[in-house]
Amino acid sequence: MVRFLLKRLLHALAVLWVVATLTFVLLRITPGGPFDRERRLPPEVLANIAAKYHLDEPLWSQYARYLKGIAKGDLGPSYKYLDRSVRDIVADTLPVSATLGLLALGLALALSFPAGLTAAYYQSSWTDRLCLFVATLGISLPSFILGALLIWIFSLQLGWLQAGRWGEMGSAVLPSFTLGAAPAAYLTYLLRSSLLDTLGEDFIRTARAKGLRESRVLFKHALSHSLIPVLTVFGPLTAALLTGSFVVEYVFAIPGMGRFFITAVTDRDYPLIMGVTLVYTALLVSANLVVDLLYSFFDPRIRTR
């Protein structure tokens, strides 16, 4: 178990290092720079800026400085927001993104469990077919189109909910639904097929033969057994929520990390881009780690691999 844990931790660190290096290299070879203006700055000014951000040092020493900073949790200064460091920006915006992500996740679970259970239990019925059809629609509808559609219907036409003004009452409803729809559809699919496999197993027949109530067979015996395969997708699911969040934040003007990432890319604010990418990766890697641990806890066969 300890060996397994160490291996996973090492892997997580490797992913973080690769991302840190990759972003560093990519942003150094990208044409155009953060201090390119329409009116060219005098060379003295450029030299001063370069000296301030240590851009005049050789690349390897910049790289070493950057990695050392990360190890200490310092993500460097922002080129664009002169009075804030990247860490400040992340500290301000991450809670917003996390709130949105958790709301969406909750919504996805609340929608997918009843749908998946009903669909699997009444396999091939019209309910099942309806659930599958809606799930396919949900997977195929890009979040920016869903978001635009919801805004058009509920804020522009009906005037029930507002789009934007994050933090006010009701402002989280449309974004959470937009972000949660695709994961909900995906989970419904998965839960349904996992339950269908389980319901065909011998122990379910045994449980029924013992005369257990159907609800007990379904919720206690079948559901708990079907959750293990569902657990594995929580890694990719977290990834979907994280990367999905910056589109949703863009559409609904939510001051989260994703929106700052988008403006950082247009501004060429390199430290901010690198910082946000690293934080995203760290979240993703930890989610995968937790899933691995839970999975090995529920299914001891995994550990020996």
Only segment of 80-88, 103-111, 226-234, 269-277 that touches another protein (CB under 8 A) = 269-277
Q: Does 15 bind another protein (CB under 8 A)?
A: yes
Residues in 174-203 at the binding interface with another protein, rule: CB under 8 A: 193, 196
Tell me how far apart the alpha carbons of residues 186 and 38 are, in angstroms, rounded to a whole number. Answer: 47
For Cα atoms 258, 96, 271, give the angle at the middle one, nearest 5 degrees.
40
Q: Does 21 bind another protein (CB under 8 A)?
A: no
Amino acid at 169: M
Q: Does 106 bind another protein (CB under 8 A)?
A: no
Q: Does 242 bind another protein (CB under 8 A)?
A: yes
Residues in 22-41 at the binding interface with another protein, rule: CB under 8 A: 22-23, 26-27, 29-31
Q: Does 158 bind another protein (CB under 8 A)?
A: no
Tell me how far apart the alpha carbons of residues 106 and 256 are, in angstroms, rounded to a whole number. Answer: 19
Q: Does 119 bind another protein (CB under 8 A)?
A: no
> Could you say which DSSP state residue 87 is in?
H
Q: Judged by CB under 8 A, which of 46, 49, 98, 141 binds another protein? A: 141
Q: Does 19 bind another protein (CB under 8 A)?
A: yes
Count other Cβ atoms within 10 Å, centred on residue 152.
12
> Could you say which DSSP state residue 254 is in?
-
Q: Does 281 bind another protein (CB under 8 A)?
A: yes
Tell me how far apart the alpha carbons of residues 118 and 42 are, in angstroms, rounded to a whole number. Answer: 69
Q: Does 286 bind another protein (CB under 8 A)?
A: no
Least Å distance, CB 236 to another protein, is: 9
Q: Does 105 bind another protein (CB under 8 A)?
A: no
Q: Is the CB of 27 or the CB of 290 nearer to another protein?
A: 27
> Could you say which DSSP state residue 252 is in?
T
Instruction: Give the SS3 label for residue 27.
Output: helix
Least Å distance, CB 293 to another protein, is: 15
Query: Are 161 and 174 spatial neighbours (Cβ–Cβ below 8 Å)?
Result: yes
Residues in 35-74 at the binding interface with another protein, rule: CB under 8 A: none
Q: Is the CB of 27 or the CB of 109 nearer to another protein?
A: 27
Least Å distance, CB 117 to another protein, is: 17
> Could you say which DSSP state residue 302 is in?
G
Helix boundaries (H) for 58-85:
59-71
How would DSSP label each residue in 208-250? HHTT--HHHIIIIIIIHHHHHHHHHTHHHHHHHHHHHHHHHHH
Query: Are 171 and 164 spatial neighbours (Cβ–Cβ below 8 Å)?
Result: yes
Least Å distance, CB 85 to another protein, is: 20
Residue 106's alpha-carbon distances to 113, 146, 287, in angstroms, are: 11, 18, 16
Residues in the site for another protein, rule: CB under 8 A?
11-12, 14-15, 18-19, 22-23, 26-27, 29-31, 124-125, 129, 136-137, 139-145, 148-149, 151-152, 156, 193, 196, 239, 242-243, 246-247, 250-251, 261-262, 265-266, 273, 276-277, 280-281, 284-285, 288
